[in-house]
């Protein structure tokens, strides 16, 4: 079958599965996985070999980059402790323990090969979980933890796998392994920071949305392959570059650039996130055939059940420890409340007495506001037992597990590596079982737990409060409209009066009608609105850094500003 015809069929199946998912309530990745498994056995359907490099170097970078650009930095900072625990410690430790237990139960599996198996099954794939959670209204903090964990756990797993494979090849050294792990992490972070900053600078320099989006498309693979060439973690580099680009975009890029880029990544993510599950299912028949030649299938089933049981135990235990840690931190936060209140009181007194210069006072005010918002977040949004259960239940493995398993070398220090196909099949069975067992029941669980969510009125009220705060801060920064000047000249009273009335509804639409003004007044009106738009963007960035509102509210406010900016751009290009 021609590759392009096969791809067209796969994309058609993806669209049909996504459409069916909205009607049946079953996550599209699970539907595609089952379709792929069923399609792998008929002989008239050609065998599809999913190259691990295609997934790890082709699919993974854009998926991680797209998720990272949408990750709220404040949410990431506030949940960093639990994210590091789940994506770091609870990947490396289970990998080592699973390797030791597999070797103990099945002595023919060497410890390095067992740890390699543990490394490939340790990271969760939160694609199915987050898609279900968004549709059914999981609490924002649970979604942030799942998304943050899925960003970084692949890096921990792949670095651990690299170390285990070095041991399989007979070249293991504990000191070298520790040094390699440290270098992969630190160098990956540095490379991601550099590539992210260069990408933003390049997109800002070209000044054209199409050209800027092309540069954005190059960014994840640039970060990945540059890091891999330097023996650093390409996954970490991609994630860091994505976080930098997402954080800097609203500050340094125009709305049209961000709109083009967002649409591109939405389409790419949809295709890749769903396509990989279909391709994953198509592998099972060939893997079973290879395993039959390589080893007794009884071993595969026994090892799969053992590994799956260990992963479930580690997941529930690890989440329990993490949630306990957040509760301890919340109790400490309560003690900080009185201290912050005392500092804020003394600060206000110092400001009233003009004891602090304006710039320093502004920086201190921002720190106090951010600390107060962090305390309010910790006390008002705890991870409850229901949230902990969902986090535990979301421990599904996915296509990265299968792709990483297939990177295990065919040969060891003494010749061909025995039991390689069996280990790969174990990893596949574990991934499929976790997806069906947990992914298939997660919607039912979320519905039974009945998480409370903000109603439409409450969301509108929160958004309006944020918009009012942004407008007030912009007016305070620039001064009243009656005092504004364009090219050193005072504005006509008729124009300022018109703008004053429209400032209240500025956020409700993409632009304003200016036909009643002459050409000079239209340009003055446009410059004045751009001036206030820039001030409001700075105010929104300031509020986002403090984090007193939810990420969804900030995104909604940002969309209002972007619509208005694009409308002003269109108005500026339209002579009428």
pLDDT at 514: 46
pLDDT at 425: 84
Q: Please give the DSSP secondary-structure letter assigned to residue 411.
A: E
264 close to 216: Cβ distance less than 8 angstroms: yes
Between CA 555 and CA 460 the distance in angstroms is 13
* CA atoms of 175 and 171, how far apart (whole Å): 12
Gap between the Cα atoms of 74 and 77, Å rounded:
5
Q: How far apart are CA 10 and CA 17, in angstroms?
A: 10
| pLDDT at site 572 | 42
What is the structure's pLDDT at 240?
Answer: 94
Strands (E), 447-560: 485-486, 489-490
Cα 149 to Cα 147: distance, rounded to the nearest angstrom: 5
d(CA 357, CA 351): 8
Cα dihedral sign, 105-108-111-114? negative
Query: By 3-state DSSP, what share of the chain in percent is helix, strand and coil, each rounded to 5?
Result: 80, 0, 20
- Report residue 101 as tokens: 């237990």
Interatomic CA distance for residues 496 and 503, integer angstroms:
10
Which helix (H) or strand (E) segment holds residue 331: the answer is helix 297-352
H-helix segments, 207-233: 209-229
Asked whether the beta carbons of 408 and 423 are under 8 A apart, the reply is: yes
Burial of 478 (0-12, 13-18, 19+ CB in 10 A): middle
Q: HEC string of 35-52?
A: HHHHHCCCCCCCCCCCCH
What distance in Å separates the CA atoms of residue 393 and residue 439, rounded to the nearest whole number?
Answer: 8
Give burial (CB, 10 Å; 0-12/13-18/19+) of 316.
Answer: middle
Model pLDDT, residue 482: 64
Q: Of 459, 339, 487, 312, whose CA–CA distance to 393 is shortest?
A: 312
Please, where are the H alpha helices in 353-417?
358-380, 385-393, 399-405
Q: What is the DSSP letter of 515?
A: T
Q: What is the pLDDT of residue 30?
A: 80
Q: Determine the pLDDT at residue 310.
A: 94
Residue 392 tokens, joined: 């535990």
The pLDDT of residue 173 is: 65
* φ/ψ of residue 411, rounded to 5: -130, 150
Q: What are the backbone angles phi and psi of residue 350, rounded to the nearest 5°? A: -65, -35
Rounded-to-integer distance, Cα 536 and Cα 472, Å: 9
- Residues 181, 183: Cα–Cα separation, whole Å: 6
Per-residue pLDDT of the chain (576 residues), as tens digits, is: 577 888 888 899 999 988 887 777 777 888 888 888 888 888 777 777 667 777 788 888 998 898 889 888 888 888 999 999 999 899 999 999 999 999 999 988 888 888 889 998 988 887 767 777 777 778 888 988 988 888 888 888 888 888 777 776 666 566 777 787 888 889 999 999 999 999 999 999 998 889 999 999 999 999 999 999 998 989 899 999 999 999 898 888 888 888 899 899 989 988 888 888 888 788 777 777 766 666 567 788 899 999 999 999 999 999 999 999 888 887 777 677 767 766 777 766 676 666 666 667 677 777 777 777 777 887 878 888 999 999 999 888 877 777 787 777 655 555 556 677 788 888 888 988 888 888 888 888 888 888 876 667 788 888 888 888 888 888 778 776 666 677 666 666 666 666 666 555 555 544 445 445 556 666 777 777 788 788 888 888 888 888 888 888 888 888 888 887 777 664 444 333
Spatial separation of the C-alpha atoms in residues 425 and 53, rounded to whole Å: 18
pTM of the entire predicted model: 0.83
How far is 122 from 136, CA to CA, in rounded Å? 26
Measured distance CA(167)–CA(177) in Å, rounded? 10
What per-residue confidence (pLDDT) applies to 409?
64
């Amino acid at each position: 079958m021609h590759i392009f015809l096969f791809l067209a069929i796969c994309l058609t199946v993806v669209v049909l599965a996504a459409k069916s998912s909205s009607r049946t309530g079953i996550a599209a990745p699970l539907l595609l996985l089952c379709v792929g498994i069923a399609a792998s056995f008929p002989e008239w359907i050609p065998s599809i070999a999913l190259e691990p490099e295609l997934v790890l170097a082709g699919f993974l970078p854009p998926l991680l980059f797209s998720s990272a650009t949408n990750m709220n930095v404040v949410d990431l900072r506030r949940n960093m402790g639990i994210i590091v625990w789940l994506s770091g410690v609870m990947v490396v430790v289970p990998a080592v323990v699973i390797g030791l237990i597999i070797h103990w139960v099945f002595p023919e599996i060497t410890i390095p090969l067992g740890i390699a198996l543990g490394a490939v099954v340790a990271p969760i794939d939160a694609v199915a979980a987050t898609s279900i959670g968004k549709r059914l209204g999981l609490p924002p903090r649970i979604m942030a933890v799942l998304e943050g964990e899925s960003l970084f756990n692949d890096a921990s797993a792949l670095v651990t796998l690299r170390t285990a494979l070095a041991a399989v090849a007979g070249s293991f050294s504990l000191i070298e392994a520790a040094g390699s792990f440290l270098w992969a992490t630190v160098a990956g972070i540095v490379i991601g920071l550099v590539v992210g900053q260069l990408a933003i600078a390049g997109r800002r320099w070209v000044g054209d949305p199409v050209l800027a989006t092309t540069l954005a498309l190059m960014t994840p693979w640039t970060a990945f392959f540059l890091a891999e060439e330097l023996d650093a973690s390409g996954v970490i580099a991609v994630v860091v570059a994505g976080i930098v680009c997402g954080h800097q975009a609203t500050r340094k890029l125009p709305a049209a650039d961000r709109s083009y880029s967002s649409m591109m990544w939405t389409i790419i993510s949809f295709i890749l996130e769903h396509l990989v599950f279909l391709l994953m299912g198509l592998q099972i028949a060939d893997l079973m055939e290879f395993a039959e030649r390589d080893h007794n299938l009884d071993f595969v089933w026994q090892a799969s059940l053992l590994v799956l049981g260990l992963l479930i135990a580690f997941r529930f235990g690890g989440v329990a420890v993490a949630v306990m840690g957040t509760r301890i931190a919340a109790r400490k936060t309560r003690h900080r409340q009185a201290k912050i209140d005392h500092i804020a009181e003394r600060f206000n007194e110092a400001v009233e007495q003009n004891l602090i210069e304006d710039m320093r006072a502004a920086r201190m005010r921002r720190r106090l506001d951010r600390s107060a918002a962090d305390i309010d977040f910790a006390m008002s949004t705890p991870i409850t037992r229901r949230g902990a259960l969902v986090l535990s239940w979301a421990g599904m493995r996915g296509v990265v597990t299968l792709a990483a398993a297939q990177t295990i070398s065919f040969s060891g220090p003494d010749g061909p590596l025995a039991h390689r196909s069996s280990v790969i099949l174990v990893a596949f069975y574990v991934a499929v079982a976790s997806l069906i067992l947990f992914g298939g029941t997660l919607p039912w669980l979320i519905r039974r737990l009945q998480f409370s969510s903000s109603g439409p009125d409450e969301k509108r009220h929160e958004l309006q409060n944020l918009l009012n705060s942004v407008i007030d801060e912009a007016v305070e920064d620039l001064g009243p409209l009656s005092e504004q000047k364009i090219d050193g000249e005072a504005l006509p009273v008729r124009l300022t009066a018109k703008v004053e009335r429209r400032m209240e509804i500025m956020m409700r639409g993409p632009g304003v009608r200016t036909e009643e003004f002459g050409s000079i007044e239209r340009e003055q009106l446009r410059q004045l609105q751009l001036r206030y738009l820039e001030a409001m963007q700075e105010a929104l960035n300031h509020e986002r850094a403090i984090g007193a509102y939810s990420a969804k509210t900030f995104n909604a406010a940002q969309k209002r500003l972007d619509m208005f900016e694009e409308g002003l751009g269109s108005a500026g290009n339209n002579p009428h």
